[in-house]
Structure 1
Amino acid sequence: MSRRTAVIVGAGPGVSGSLARLYADAGWNLALFGSHPDAVGALADDLRERGAAVDHEIGDLADVADTDDKLRSLAERAEEVGLLHFNPSVFREADALELSVADLLADVAIGVGGLLTAVQAVVGSMGPGARVSATGSMAADQPWHRAATLGVQKAGLRNLVLGLDTTLTPSGIRAVSVTVRGALGSEGAFTPDKVAAAIYAATWREDADWTPEVSYEG
């Protein structure tokens, strides 16, 4: 019997790593895409020790053509893509008076446009019952003025996921953005493991209970 593959975009330590380990422990194989070879390699080794087959590619989401090629290749090599998870965002400390239009657009191209690139590259390898998930943030509703692009990215990401869910539903694929309403930390309700568990749970709800956004309050 084939094992489903979870494609993790923005793979590395933190929430994406915790989520990848959840899927490995649930019997999935993993296809990782990230920008830092050491971090992706360390995660891949950990997942293999858990019994998962792991494939990976290193790339920069800012390079759309290269990202598209590498994600399509990952998806084509997978037995069956059952999940695409999108995790990346860009933190740039600059308020709206310091920020240039070019910097704003560059960050949105990664934090929002990266999801568009990923879905278009992978969706051809996904079938009914598959899921698209994304790590959202309370910055979409409560942005910090000193990280002006992050709020725009997370608001745009959520909006794109809402549209994707409507677009993909006729093919049996659902999309969800999980809005994390707290700051990640090493203790408490917002550790990477707990946030990843909330994303996993939101992703595999029944269609009758489906909403394309879920808030994780901790």
Structure 2
Amino acid sequence: MSDKTALIIGAGAGLSASLARTFATNGYKVALAARNADKLADLAKETGAKAYACDAASPQEMAGLFASVDRDLGEPEVAVYNPSARVRGPVHELDADKVRDAMLITGYGAFLMAQEAVKRMLPNNRGTLLFTGASAGVKGFPNSSSFAMGKFALRGLAQALARELHPQGIHVGHFVIDGGIASSYGAKEDDSTLSPDAIAETYWQFVNQHRSAWAWEVELRPWVEKF
């Protein structure tokens, strides 16, 4: 076990679970955060992780999460932001309050995570921030305006942070997940969806990039997915 800690916000089944397994297998102490921490019990037991409850769109709860992780496991060396929300439907029919809440979860919560993480990473001039994006962050789709707004905001945040923080030793990554992620462990036999384990492996490779050749964005899609 190393002295490094990885914090995964928006944890659950699928990609988050694969990320938790990947970091734990590679010696990281793992912190898992979700609005409902009870659902993380099995994954926490499997990976030796510690689970926390957190509303990602709340500044107070985000600050409290980081304080708890600092105390229990040590300041995060890697912080991953996975949460997102959407309200589907024609723009003229959308509930404005629900759209606002979706944007807070998808974009504002990512800012809150970054702010807390960077406060801890800057004194050491190292650390990694990882943001899980989607196709909607580079192209808007009909009846999905709220998701496009949130994911465009997430991508803009990541790009701005990369330009601000890379010269200070903090690696920032945005991942465009262009396709459906297999809901079960591993990919389907026909590879028509992205394997969460394969995505997690790419995140791990990103964390270990040499600083002379840092990326800030990676697009991932199944081989059958159209651009």
Number of residue equivalences: 213
5+ residue gaps, structure 2, are 223-227
Pair 1:172 & 2:169 matched:
yes
State the alpha-carbon separation in 1 of the partners of residues 2 and 199 from structure 2. Answer: 28
% identical equivalent positions: 26
Aligned CA-pair RMSD:
1.9
5+ residue gaps, structure 1, are 49-53
Pair 1:194 & 2:210 matched:
no
- In the alignment, what sits opposite 2:131? 134
Mark the CA change 1:106 to 1:116 in structure 2 (over 3 Å): closer, same or farther: same
What's the CA shift for 1:2? 4.9
Pair 1:110 & 2:105 matched:
yes
State the alpha-carbon separation in 1 of the partners of residues 94 and 167 from structure 2. Answer: 40
Ranges of 4+ aligned residues in structure 1 off by more than 6 Å: none
- In the alignment, what sits opposite 2:6? 6
What aligned pairs does 1:1-218 form with structure 2 within 5 A after superposition? 2-48=2-48, 54-126=49-121, 127-185=124-182, 186=184, 187=188, 188=191, 190-218=194-222
State the alpha-carbon separation in 2 of the partners of residues 47 and 170 from structure 1. Answer: 33
State the alpha-carbon separation in 1 of the partners of residues 45 and 217 from structure 2. Answer: 32
> After the TM superposition, which of the residue ranges 37-46 and 131-140 deviates more from structure 2?
37-46
**TM-score, normalised via structure 2 length:** 0.85
> After the TM superposition, which of the residue ranges 154-163 and 118-127 deviates more from structure 2?
118-127
Deviation track 1:131-174 (CA, whole Å, cap 9, x = no partner) reads: 10011111112333233211211111111011111222233111
**TM-score, normalised via structure 1 length:** 0.88
State the alpha-carbon separation in 2 of the partners of residues 112 and 16 from structure 1. Answer: 18
Q: CA contact under 8 A between 2:86 and 2:99: conserved in structure 1?
A: no
Q: CA contact under 8 A between 2:58 and 2:109: conserved in structure 1?
A: no
State the alpha-carbon separation in 2 of the partners of residues 139 and 199 from structure 1. Answer: 20
- In the alignment, what sits opposite 1:51? none
What's the CA shift for 1:92? 2.3
State the alpha-carbon separation in 2 of the partners of residues 139 and 173 from structure 1. Answer: 26
Q: CA contact under 8 A between 2:88 and 2:94: conserved in structure 1?
A: no
